[in-house]
Structures are given as C-alpha cells and as structure tokens.
Amino acid sequence: MSDSARPALPFDPYAQAPADAPTVRAPWPAIGHDRPVRAAIIGTGAVAHLHAQAIALDPLAVTVACSNRNAERRTAFADTYDIPGRYETLAELLAAEDVDVVHLCTPPDLHREQTLQAVAAGVHVVCEKPPALSLAELDDMQQACDDAGLAFGIIFQQRTGTGAAHVRALLTSGALGRPLLAQCETLWYRGTDYYAVDWRGRWATEGGGTTLGHGIHQMDLLAHLLGDWAEISAQTWRLDRATDMEDASTATILFANGVVATATSSTLCPRETSHVRIDCEKATIEVEHLYGHAVPNWRITPAPIVDAAEAATWAFPDHDEPSGHIPLIRETFRALREGTVLPDVAGSARRPLEIVTAIYASADAGGRRISAGELRAEGLLATSLESAVRDPRAELGLGVGVPASA
C-alpha cells in the first residue's frame, strides 16, 4: 500500500475490546492469531478504497485479491494497495484463492448472487450498503450464511465511533430521561453526472432512490440509538432529477418506545448535511456531519431543569475514535479471529431495510400508516421496492418530470 493511501489516525486503531465485554461464541471456527485474516475486495470503486485502507491498518489482516471486470481499474486499485491477486470475476477469484472473507463493494443488484457464491465457497461476507434490493434478497443472504455457519457483516458505519457509543449508553441508561421527539435529515446533493451512471436511477439495478441509497445511513443510526420501529407513514417525491425513483422522501416514524421522528432524505440540497436530533426529557442530543462523525460533531444541550453537576456527568470521553469503516472492519475481523458473534455495529441489517421498505410501502399506499407487524405479515414490497413516486410538476401542471427510463 502506498504511503499516500494510508490514512493518518489520531488514535490507536488496534485498541482491545473492554475486558468485561460479553463473549458469545459464533458458529464458525476461530481463525486465530497465528496468521492474518485473508480478505478479498470485490469491486474497486470509491468505497472499495475505504475497505482496503481499513484492512491495511490491521496488522493481522491482508488483502490477497480483488476483482473488477474493468482491467484498467482493477490494475490501478491493486497497484495502489499492493494486492497480488487480480481477477475479472468473483468466481475466478474464489476458484484460485484461499480467502477467509470477501468484501462486496459492488452495486446492490449483485449482492445476493455474490453472497451465495461466497457461501458456496465457505467464505465469510462483509457487504456494503444497501445490502440488497429487497427484504427477500436480504433474508436469502442472511439465511445462506446462517445455514453455512458463516459471518454476514454489513457496512452501516454511522453506528460506530466514540460519540455514537456514548450517546447510546446515555439513552439506554435513562440518564437523559425518556426520549420523546426526533429528527433525521440526509440532505445531500447529487447532480446529473451522478445519475448518468448506467445502473443508477432504475429500480431494477439501484433498487431505490435516495431513501435506500443515502437516507438509510442516518435512519440506521437513529434506530441504533432508539431501537425498534412500530409504524411509518411517508411520501416519496420526484422533484427535479431524471430518475425513475425518488430524489426526496418525507416520513414520520413512530418507534416502539413511543418516540415520534421525522425523516427527510434528498439529493437536491446545495448545503449538504447529515443531521440527527433526539429531544429527551432532560436534554437534546444532536449530531451534524456529512459522511462521518467524531465527538466534536455531537452536542448535548441540557434542559433548564438540569443543574450543571448532573449535566457534567454526560460529558463525552477524552478518547475519540471517529465513525467509519476502520472500527467496523476491525471489530468484524476481531470476531472472525476469536470465533465470536459479530458486534452489534456490523450485524442486524434487516431493521434499517425494513424502515426503508415501510417508507416505500406507505408512499405506494398514498401515505397510509404501515405498521411493523403488517409489513412482516403481509410481505409488503418484500421482493422489490418499486413503488409509486409523486411528481408535483405533473400533479400541479408545472411541467412533467422525465423518468430515467423515458
């Protein structure tokens, strides 16, 4: 790996798990510490670099191979990170290499088939988001890994980091009182060049619009902090971009603990931000960032009824590990080495995809409230998220929008 590709870190990326952390044995055998975890990266686009950098920081891991159908991109990526094995397809890679885990950094329409290929070869899977195009695909992937006794790790990196762990502990302990109200905003900007990529903007290949592709991260963080959802009502909107899907969505989420949250996702916002706010009885919690957060991005504002001494007990720790692929992949590899179940930050992919599916299902039903029980029992949009999208330009006679497939 070239020095220019190696990130500078203000913390120890190899810090050990707390001594009192519970240990739950996994169905897979421990790789141990006598040799490195052998990883392969499938797909060599922008997100693959984050995986390669995280693996390179682990002294007991090595990237032994990568694959990409484009020879030029494959070679450039492999040269950057000194990866010896270079293949056109995952099938060729699995046939030739002895690997422990594959990292799927490919478009989401490929994830199910690639996961099943890896499972057939007896290889663990780490999958980028969105993990699948539907809950049915995700369930197939998870079931295949479970049946084979293999790990199925998911990249929802917003769950990681010192700040998120600290806030989650405060909420779980009840130190801030009962959470009452929340806001979740993913306000990003993606221009016409973004949608010009051939697999984007189409239900069959991208699976969903900004709700699935972008908003899922902050909604996953919100659910990581607040727990299970109970009911969702939503609308999806096509306001400007040439896409078959939505470029904005608005939702109200009722969580099982009674918290009422609003969630907005969009690719139309010149001032980009990712923002989560939770108002509790004793304090407001906020985090504002773009693609990753550290402790300075978090803020806890006490209510007027809270004295300074009590508020001081909520202070963030001095040590600060930012969110990102580094801690998530490090802890996933730790579990593979030690033969323990995956950490919470790397598992449980179904909840965020359920939330997203319920948003599309509600929009498809004209904004009707969709409960968690109904979504599961009726299998709403279980095999595809393709659903109705409102276009105010057409509804109000402002000029008809043009879907990407037109």
- Which residue type is seen at 137? E
Q: Quote the CA–CA distance of 225 and 257 in Å, as a whole number.
A: 11
Q: Quote the CA–CA distance of 230 and 375 in Å, as a whole number.
A: 10
Domain residue limits, the chain: 3-158+325-347, 162-321+351-378
Tell me the pLDDT tens digit for each residue of 252-263.
Answer: 999 999 999 999
With residue 183 as reference, give the H or E element that holds it.
Answer: strand 179-189
- If one compares 22 and 81, the residue with the highest pLDDT of the two is 81
What per-residue string of b and e applies to 366-383 under the rule 16 or more CB within 10 Å gives b?
ebeebebeebeeeebbbe
pLDDT higher than threshold 50 for residue 17: no
Q: Quote the CA–CA distance of 276 and 78 in Å, as a whole number.
A: 37
Q: Quote the CA–CA distance of 160 and 156 in Å, as a whole number.
A: 8
Length of the chain: 406
Tell me, rounded to whole angstroms, the distance of Cα 310 from its chain centroid.
34
pLDDT higher than threshold 80 for residue 400: no
pLDDT band of residue 8 (cuts 50, 70, 90) is: very low
Average pLDDT, the chain: 93
Q: Which of 3-7, 67-71, 107-111, 206-210 has the lowest mean pLDDT?
A: 3-7
- Angle (nearest 5°) at CA 163 between 158 and 166: 115
Q: What order of strands is seen across the sheet that includes strand 268-280?
A: 298-302, 283-289, 268-280, 179-189, 260-266, 248-255, 229-237, 370-371
Mean local confidence (pLDDT), 233-255: 97
Tell me the pLDDT tens digit for each residue of 178-204.
Answer: 999 999 999 999 999 999 998 899 999
Tell me the pLDDT tens digit for each residue of 74-113.
Answer: 999 999 999 999 999 999 999 999 999 999 999 999 999 9
Residue 246: CB atoms within 10 A of its CB come to 30
CATH match for 3-158+325-347 among 3.10.20.30, 3.40.50.2300, 3.40.50.720, 3.40.350.10: 3.40.50.720
- Same topology between domain 3-158+325-347 and domain 162-321+351-378: no
CATH class of 162-321+351-378: alpha beta
| Encoded tokens for 115 | 């996961």
pLDDT band of residue 68 (cuts 50, 70, 90) is: very high
Q: Are 246 and 209 in contact (CB under 8 A)?
A: yes
Mean local confidence (pLDDT), 325-336: 97
pLDDT higher than threshold 80 for residue 3: no
- Which residue type is seen at 2? S
Tell me, rounded to whole angstroms, the distance of Cα 233 from its chain centroid.
22
Contact partners, residue 382, CB within 8 Å, separation at least 6: 134, 135, 136, 357
User: Percent of the chain having pLDDT more than 90?
Assistant: 91
Q: Are 154 and 127 in contact (CB under 8 A)?
A: yes
- How buried is 191 (Cβ within 10 angstroms: 0-12 exposed, 13-18 middle, 19+ buried)? exposed
Query: Residue 130, preceding bond cis, omega within 30 degrees?
Result: yes
Tell me the pLDDT tens digit for each residue of 213-236.
Answer: 999 999 999 999 999 999 999 999
Residue 22 is predicted with a pLDDT of 55
Mean local confidence (pLDDT), 361-366: 98
Q: Quote the CA–CA distance of 71 and 73 in Å, as a whole number.
A: 6
Residue 157 is predicted with a pLDDT of 97
Q: Are 89 and 71 in contact (CB under 8 A)?
A: no
